[in-house]
Amino acid sequence: RRLNVRVNIELLSISNPVHKKDLAVRLTDDTDPFFLYNLVISEEDFQSLKSQQGLLVDFSAFPQKFIDLLQQCIQEQNKDIPRFLLQLVSSAPALDHTPVSLNVVETNPFKHLTHLSLKFLPGTDAEIKKFLANCLKCFKEDKMMLEEKLKKTEEDLTRQLSYTQQSLSEKSRELDKLKSEWTSYTTALSNKHSQELTSEKERALQAQTQYQQQHEQQKKELENLHQKSIQQLQNRLSELEVINKDLTERRYKGDSTVRELKAKLSGLEDECQRAKQEVLSLRRENTTLDAECHEKEKLINQLQTRVAVLEQEIKDKDQLVTRTKEVLDATQEQKVILEESTEEKQKHIEKLETTIKSLSAELLKANEIIKKLQGDLKTLMSKLKLKNTVTIQQEKLLAEKEEKLQKEQRESQEMGQSLQMKEQEVCKLQEQLESTIQKLEESKQLLKTNENVITWLNRQLSEVQMAKKLDSPASAHSGGRAAVSPLGMPDRPSFHSSGISHPISPLYAFQNFLEPIHSKNGNSQCPVQLNSQLLKPSRCLDAHTVPAAGHAANKENGEQLGLESKYFKKKDDSIPLRGLSQNTLNSEYLRPYLPAKAQPLPKAAGTPASAYFPG
């Protein structure tokens, strides 16, 4: 069975003969005065209980923890399946003054956990008598307190009755006076209110006509301004779309040129296997340029996002315009509602006037009719106050509407300023795009110049290698002798018949230098040994070596041919160039950069192709 039990917990301090503290717990039932169980726990008893039940709390903190467990049981006592329970278990079938154990149990789906179990002893006759005596004492004290309160309330009520009777007599006299005064006052009020209503109607009509004219003028002005702004924005959008299309076409063209350059580089990689170090340096430069191109593409994407943001802002502004129109429509509807309410109030006033006349005729009747008239008068006063408040509220509403219109005008001005700022930002972005496009073109030009420089350097290296091969060729016996440069190339051939004295290219000189040899040695072939870096021709027939002259092949009278001196300056981060194969002279890629006289040599009669160029 279930019972509501009262638990009293007390700490008892005993000083004689030794200072001790005991914990006294008492179980009682308010419905059954003979239900009494006691438990006294000393510090020594608590130590044994702590060891038996595995408690982790000291004696000083045990009372508060026990109270916390009881409070959790109280909180969950009204639930269908409570989590914490208090179980009072006895060995006997009924509570017949036998020892009882009080268990604090926590229920879960797996097990019933007993947090604490305390054994209580039933109260003896003396203890029960003492407990009942204390209960009687408490009840008597409560009874005395209640009796004193009753006496005080009776005296207060008698005083209030006498006072209310006197006040009733006085107020009845005052009522008689008020009746006579009220009849005269109501007639005067009705006259005044009729005059005031006519004047207020005229004023309200004049104000309404003025406000309607002002609102119509403002509406027309706002509609004209909004139409102009919308047309300007649409024109601006069309211009921006055309600019975006041009930018996308330019970007696609740039991508196509980059792809073509990459295809050319892949074709040249097969031919330039021996020059991998130089190609790696060029690839690093290309990677940096690709990174710059990616950064510029990112800038273009950012600009496109900004254009999208501007379009969203334009849409938001269109929504604001629609909202302002909706607000204006709502104000007009409120005006119509106010006019209808004024007409209804006028009808209601006429009805009230008729009721006042009927009430003035019936004032001479009994006291019951007087009470009804007092209620009607109160309602009339409240309605008059409501009318005054309604008029004040209408004035406030009109002032608020004027403020809203001013705010909308300010917002429209701010919107125009923000549009101007955004147009300026778009112009700046276009300038940035133009500058980036110019930088791209400059970088492409730099790439072209670098390629021209590389091809020219390769050509110079091939010429130098050919000159080294011809350091000790056999001199021709035809009578004509050409001067030789320190690198083994003829400096300036002698043309006595033509009178030509200007410098010519080394390849042309090399071609002319070989012609006498072939003319002298008709059918005999000169064996040539091919090497990866240099060509070493073997000596054939009776050839005489020509001593080297003191002039360079590309100089005449202090003038330098080819590129300017700035391309030959050594840099700290430069990579040294090494000899390339002679196939580069015959490649189609280098033909546009060779001069007219420095084209690949024609094959002479009776000489193999390997005598001039390997491969």
pLDDT digits (tens, 9 = 90+) for 583-603: 444 444 444 444 444 444 444
| C-alpha closest to that of 576 among 407, 461, 451 | 461
Residue 81 belongs to a domain: yes
Helix axes 125-271, 276-361, angle to 10 degrees: 140
Of 54-68, 113-127, 359-373, the least confident = 359-373
Count Cβ neighbours within 10 Å for each residue of 479-494 and write b for 16 or more, e otherwise: eeebbbbebbbbbbee
**How far apart are alpha carbons 493 and 13 in whole angstroms?**
136
Average pLDDT, the chain: 76
- DSSP letter assigned to residue 120: E
Residue 54 lies in a domain: yes
Would you say the pTM of this structure is higher than 0.75? no
| pLDDT grade for 93, boundaries at 50, 70 and 90 | low
Half-sphere exposure of 528 (CA within 13 A, CB side): 18
Non-local CB neighbours of 398 within 8 Å, separated by 6+ positions: 207, 211
Q: Which of 56, 66, 55, 79 is nearest to 8 (CA)?
A: 66
Domain count along the chain: 1
Q: Is 551 part of any domain?
A: no
Look at residues 532, 586, 577 and name the one whose alpha carbon lies nearest to residue 282: 577
Residue 44 domain flag: yes
CATH of the domain at 84: 2.170.210.20
Residues 6+ apart with CB under 8 A from 394: 338
Tell whether 417 is covered by a domain: no
The residues that bridge with 556 in the sheet, in sequence order, are: 559
Cα-trace Rg, the chain: 60
pLDDT tens digits, residue range 485-541? 434 444 444 434 334 444 444 444 334 444 433 433 444 333 333 333 333 333 333
Report the pLDDT value the prediction gives residue 520, as an integer from 0 to 100: 39
How many angstroms separate the first and last alpha carbons of the chain? 116
Return the structure tokens found at 7.
């638990």
Residue 105 pairs in a beta bridge with: 85, 114
| 491 in a structural domain | no
**Is residue 16 in some structural domain?**
yes
**Mean pLDDT within 287-308:** 87
In a domain, 85, yes or no: yes
Q: Do 460 and 562 meet the contact criterion of CB atoms below 8 Å apart?
A: yes
- Relative to beta strand 112-122, strand 36-41 is antiparallel
The bridge status of strand 555-556 relative to strand 559-560 is antiparallel
Instruction: Give the C-alpha distances (Å, rounded to integers) separating 560 from 453, 552, 557.
Output: 16, 10, 9
Q: Which residue range forms the structural domain that includes residue 102?
A: 5-123
